[in-house]
A and B are shown apart, each in its own frame.
Chain A
Amino acid sequence: MLERVKRPLGRLGHNFIDGVWRVGAMARFFALVLSSSGTSFKRFRLVVREVYFVGVLSLVIIAVSGLFVGMVLGLQGFETLQRYGATESIGMLVALSLVRELGPVVSALLFASRAGSAITAEIGLMKATEQLTAMDMMAVSPMARVIAPRFWAGVISMPLLSAIFSAMGVFGGYIVGVVLIGVDAGAFWAQMQAAVDFRYDVLNGVVKSLVFGVAVTVIATFEGFDAPPTAEGVSGATTRTVVSSALTILALDLVLTAFMLRADD
């Protein structure tokens, strides 16, 4: 009887300790990535190549999703605002929701599932096929050559992708609000400009996406670097990347939003 209780409890404890260990290891890993970033800037071509893979190839999914999200916001906003006879505020509603929250958060989630998972799988496989060990033998630091360029590529790409997402979303809101529903275009833009403050809203969104970029790429590279060198290990690591990136993004979003609203008052 006691055995049957002890085993799940033991697993629970083990999982908890493993989680705490992961956080610590990730912090150390992050410091290591930063300290071996010199090569990335000396040979920027490495970063450019990774930006192509994580940024340029994510453009389509980000732009199309942004457009759809903006259109949905426009429709939903119209539904509610119509009751108060304030349909002109659609622009304001769409732009504020996108720039402050949805742009950075949704594009980071998409980035994590599209680029983050790819980074983890790639690094995990490199490790499983002993490419990283080979590099080490040739006195090439895998940290500087493989991990750091991917990290910086993510940090560079994320704010740009998020801005593209938000801009496309506003355009989607414009299509629904002005073109389909027939809200006055002047009022649409004027309300938006009156409500969205560059420093408080747009720049805060950029800061958010930068933080998310750092978080997602650190998690993705760490999980790949830490993956057991088996097919199962790599697949598990990829799954973990997407799950913990998503949770981290949402938790960080709460913290950052709280900070930013505090700073406003």
Chain B
Amino acid sequence: MERTTLDLWFGAFVSVGFAALLVLALKVGNLGAEGQREAYKVEARFDNIGGLKVRAPVKASGVLVGRVQEIHFDQDRYQASVTMALDKRYQFPKDTSASILTSGLLGEVYVGLDAGGDTKKLADGDRVAITQSAVVLERLIGQFLFTKAQEDAKK
């Protein structure tokens, strides 16, 4: 193979291009930060998931421990079923509870895990039994108005 300046330029161009892709993947994106860690799946059922989306973070004590992988409507129980992929490094007791929370006033909706006290740990395919649904603002206001009206009636 004879070497020409053209090949040099071609090599340089392709290298710079791939370097840029690498920067986008590792520095700009989350490939380095999260990567494809070993994960196990846990399911939870909620009466109302509010604005939860696929890929929303799952946090325990505010630390990211996994992501929501799938959401579907359970036709038998009329509940939302949320599948979460949790990082293998983090193990949770069997009686851990999951709640749907919002970070800040306009922040994103995420799943918060509160560890229980069981000695057994959640394994792949298990279900989180204790769940707390999202707070629906309209219902909250409705309740508030209802109690207000009751108070007024008592007077």
Give residues in A with beta carbon < 8 Å to B: 45, 48-49, 51-52, 55-56, 59, 95, 99, 156-157, 159-161, 163-164, 166-168, 170, 189, 192-194, 196-198, 200-202, 205-206, 264-265
Name the one of A51, A52, A59, A198 contacting B31, with C-beta atoms under 8 angstroms: A198
Pairs A–B under 8 Å by Cβ, sample size 17: A49-B6, A51-B13, A52-B10, A59-B13, A160-B18, A161-B17, A166-B24, A166-B28, A167-B19, A170-B24, A170-B27, A196-B29, A197-B29, A198-B29, A198-B30, A201-B29, A202-B31
Q: Is the CB of A193 within 8 A of B10?
A: no
* Closest residue on chain A to residue B67 by CB atoms: A197
Contact bitstring B1-39, A, C-beta under 8 A = 1, else 0: 000001101101110111111011101111101000000
How many whole Å from B111's CB to the nearest CB in chain A?
16
Q: Is the CB of B28 within 8 A of A192?
A: yes
- Asked if B135 lies at the interface with its beta carbon under 8 angstroms from chain A, I say no
How many whole Å from A195's CB to the nearest CB in chain B?
9
| B25 neighbours in A (Cβ, 8 Å) | 198, 202
Q: Is the CB of B54 within 8 A of A160?
A: no
Q: Is the CB of A189 within 8 A of B30?
A: no
| B10 neighbours in A (Cβ, 8 Å) | 48, 51-52, 56
Task: Give the B interface residue count (CB, 8 A).
Answer: 25
How many whole Å from B135's CB to the nearest CB in chain A?
23
**Assembled-state Cα–Cα distance A193/B23 (Å):** 11
* Closest residue on chain A to residue B14 by CB atoms: A160
- Asked if B55 lies at the interface with its beta carbon under 8 angstroms from chain A, I say yes
| A264 neighbours in B (Cβ, 8 Å) | 54-55
| A189 neighbours in B (Cβ, 8 Å) | 27
| A48 neighbours in B (Cβ, 8 Å) | 6-7, 10
**Assembled-state Cα–Cα distance A133/B11 (Å):** 33
| A192 neighbours in B (Cβ, 8 Å) | 28
**Assembled-state Cα–Cα distance A95/B29 (Å):** 9
